[in-house]
Copies of this chain bind each other. A is one copy, B any other.
Amino acid sequence: MTSSRPDGQRSPTLEEVAEWAGVSRSTVSRVINGVSTVDPELRELVQRAIDATGYVPNLAARSLVTRRTDSVALVVSEPDDRTEQTEPFLNRIFTDPFLGRITAGALEVLRPEGIHLVIMPAESPAHHHVLRYLRQGHVDGVLLISSSDEDPLPQQLCDLGIPAVLSARPGKPLPMSYVDVEQQVGAKLAAEHLLAIGRHHLATISGPLDMPSSQDRLAGFRAALAVHGHAYVPSAAGNFTRASGEQAARELFAAHPEIDGLFVANDLMAEGALQALRDLGRRVPEEVAVVGFDNSIAALQCRPRLTTIHQPLEEMAAEMARLLLARIGKADPKPRSVIFHPRLVKRESA
């Protein structure tokens, strides 16, 4: 039960709590921080003092000494060259179920540790802004969702010695921990499923080609088909939004009306493609089979429901958080990477 202080008044300090309890500042500090060498009776007394005064430790003072803030940032970064897009960055990241799943997974690990997560969008013009925030020491480390291999942020964090973990293999080799899914294997799963259900004219809608994960999915799809004698695979690139998927599908079918199997690099674009196919009067899956990627909520919300490649984003984010905490705890410089396995989820679209 905290007594609410009258407005504008400063919150009580350790010293005041100590006075209330008739002990020293040190003892109160020990109680707050759970140091065991405190007489149980005193501990009880101090606890009452804390409750009575409504004491909350002053973060600034504490972290000035400890050099810890007990919070980490989830930074969603966007490179320069993709800023001029139909859909604004913030719209995109807050519309894709992706971010919600990452957040959920990270919180799963961070909350029990008492660590706060702050989410910061970092589209390119505001990069320096976010960088300043991170350098000022607001957070102990960062979970970095970086989408382009041209993104300077990973390198910058590295240089500054700010603990960070990436959400995917970095474009350029970097001494940083990261988490990833076997992108190529996922694409292969999709390819082989499409072949297995008897499709012969396959095509793919990829993500932005400056992203390693997009490159991998595209390469994986092509490689798997090459093994089965398909030398040429039409493809079009989107930017992971529904609208871009719709657009890409239109282009693809305009140029290659014979396509009967489509692998789309995420579910949102697949949903857009489904839209395009409906407009074009192509029945799914009868005439065209569609496989997505992510197994997000979007895959369940479209008609027909999407066959897709599941990637365990929540677990991946949780692992990112674990890697980050390990890195923050000991200044252990050797980076680790953890790779997850994708799997095919069969539904109606293929």
Question: Interface residues, chain A, CB within 8 Å of chain B?
Answer: 4-5, 7-9, 11, 56-64, 69, 71, 73, 87-88, 90-97, 99-101, 103-104, 107, 111, 116-121, 126, 129-130, 132-133, 135-138, 159-161, 242-243, 272, 275, 278-279, 297, 301, 303, 331, 333
Decide: B60 and A137 in contact? CB cutoff 8 A: yes
Decide: A120 and B119 in contact? CB cutoff 8 A: yes
Decide: A97 and B95 in contact? CB cutoff 8 A: yes
Max chain B C-beta neighbours (<10 A), residue from A95, A160, A275:
A95
Q: Which of B7, B133, B272, B301 contacts A161 (CB 8 A)?
A: B7
Task: Count this chain's copies in the assembly.
Answer: 2
Find the B residue at minimum CB distance from A302.
B275
Decide: A71 and B121 in contact? CB cutoff 8 A: no
Q: A176 to nearest B CB, angstroms?
A: 12
Find the B residue at minimum CB distance from A133.
B116
Decide: B275 and A303 in contact? CB cutoff 8 A: yes
Known: A60-B60, A118-B118, A160-B4. A111 touches B97 (CB 8 A): no
Q: A72 to nearest B CB, angstroms?
A: 11
Decide: B100 and A297 in contact? CB cutoff 8 A: no
Decide: A301 and B60 in contact? CB cutoff 8 A: no
Known: A116-B120, A120-B119. A136 touches B59 (CB 8 A): yes
Q: A284 to nearest B CB, angstroms?
A: 14
Known: A7-B333, A111-B126, A303-B275. A138 touches B59 (CB 8 A): yes
Max chain B C-beta neighbours (<10 A), residue from A11, A91, A100, A137:
A100
Decide: A95 and B91 in contact? CB cutoff 8 A: no
Q: Which of B64, B121, B159 contacts A64 (CB 8 A)?
A: B64
Decide: A64 and B60 in contact? CB cutoff 8 A: yes
A71 to B116, alpha carbons, bound, how many Å?
15
Q: A157 to nearest B CB, angstroms?
A: 11
Q: Which of B71, B99, B135, B278 contacts A133 (CB 8 A)?
A: B71
The 7 A-B pairs of least Cβ separation, nearest first, read A94-B100, A118-B118, A119-B119, A59-B136, A4-B159, A60-B64, A90-B100
A100 to B116, alpha carbons, bound, how many Å?
21
Q: Please indicate the chain B residues that have their CB under 8 angstroms from the CB of A116 in the complex.
A: 120, 129-130, 133, 138
Cross-chain pairs A/B with CB under 8 angstroms, 5 sampled: A11-B135, A56-B132, A61-B64, A91-B297, A278-B303
Decide: A121 and B137 in contact? CB cutoff 8 A: no
Find the B residue at minimum CB distance from A110.
B129
Find the B residue at minimum CB distance from A138.
B59
